[in-house]
Amino acid sequence: MKVKVNDFSLDKTLSSGQTFGWKKVGDSWVSFFDRPIKVTQKTDSSLEFSGSTENMVKDMLGLNDDIERIKSEINKDEFIDQAINYSLGLRIVKDGLWASTLGFILSIQSNIPLITRRIRLMSEYYGEKKDISGIELSQFPKYDRIYERGYDSLKQFKLGFRTKFVFSAARYFYSHEINEGMDLEEIKKHLLSIDGVGPKVLDCITLYGLHELSSFPMDVWIQRTIAKYYYKIIGNAKSYKNKNKIMRDYFGQYSGYAQLFMFNYSRMNNSTGSI
């Protein structure tokens, strides 16, 4: 099936470090969260997909966002204007609660290639395997499998201090009902009670997992960037919470896109974060 797109780059979107559940095979990208999906960008304005409905695929890839309006709303200054122009085609994904929780716990003190590899190895061990038109896919590791196979099984992935975080998250999802239909504040409360989910990881989960576009995760790169270019509005605010509020008030309801563009832009000159 085909879908028309504009201002969209599948490569940029899926390799930008916001999602770790997609793999590039040839010219296509494949994922296996709940079901196997294959997406190929044919031209700048056309996408081909299989394995899911059009609306589901568009939802996962941020294609239902009014990108033109978003860009115009967050374009508050010259710096963000540069970041926007540098990030043409980049969208915010929607990975769902569990996938983003696992991904961003694994992202703690790590770089993108390392996170991607951890997810791949875990998928091969925990995930169901399926053969889709010649491509063998392993399912994204599910929390119930992780929990049931136990803590010791996790050690083989050498996650360091993240091992207990991952297990804590798996156990929490296993024994609590959390879903996207719940009130956002209630979801946040659940997530924060997981050992390994702090303010930054929480913001990543709401932004890239739930597609809550007003979230503004602040990693070390964003913190350096705002210290350099936004010191005037940051003032003497120091805590994560205070700086976060200032930036969200500044960029508004689509702050998340400002964050992604800034991250993408700041990562440009960084070798360790390269793909």
Contacts with DNA by CB under 7 A lie at: 16-18, 107-114, 117, 158-162, 165, 194-202, 204, 217, 219-222, 238-239, 242, 259-260, 263, 270-273
The answer for residues whose C-beta is within 8 angstroms of residue 69's C-beta and 6 or more apart is: none
Rg value, the chain, Cα = 18
Of the two residues 31 and 259, which places its CB atom closer to DNA in the complex?
259
Of the two residues 199 and 252, which places its CB atom closer to DNA in the complex?
199
Of the two residues 29 and 38, which places its CB atom closer to DNA in the complex?
29
Token duo for residue 16: 């930008």
Whole-angstrom Cα distance, residue 252 to residue 40? 33
* Neighbour-count burial of 48, counting CB atoms closer than 10 A to its CB (0-12 exposed, 13-18 middle, 19+ buried): middle
Least distance from DNA to the Cβ atom of residue 242, Å: 6
Of the two residues 36 and 62, which places its CB atom closer to DNA in the complex?
62
Least distance from DNA to the Cβ atom of residue 201, Å: 3
Question: How far from chain centre, in Å, is Cα 57?
Answer: 15
Least distance from DNA to the Cβ atom of residue 83, Å: 13
Of the two residues 6 and 242, which places its CB atom closer to DNA in the complex?
242
Q: How many residues does the chain have?
A: 275
The answer for residues whose C-beta is within 8 angstroms of residue 152's C-beta and 6 or more apart is: none
Least distance from DNA to the Cβ atom of residue 121, Å: 10
Of the two residues 36 and 229, which places its CB atom closer to DNA in the complex?
229
Least distance from DNA to the Cβ atom of residue 53, Å: 27
Assign 256 to helix, strand or coil.
Answer: helix
Least Cα distance to 249 among 65, 74, 70, 62 occurs for 74
Of the two residues 140 and 265, which places its CB atom closer to DNA in the complex?
265
Question: How far from chain centre, in Å, is Cα 19?
Answer: 4
Least distance from DNA to the Cβ atom of residue 256, Å: 9
Least distance from DNA to the Cβ atom of residue 233, Å: 16
* Neighbour-count burial of 53, counting CB atoms closer than 10 A to its CB (0-12 exposed, 13-18 middle, 19+ buried): exposed
The answer for residues whose C-beta is within 8 angstroms of residue 147's C-beta and 6 or more apart is: 167, 170, 171, 173, 174
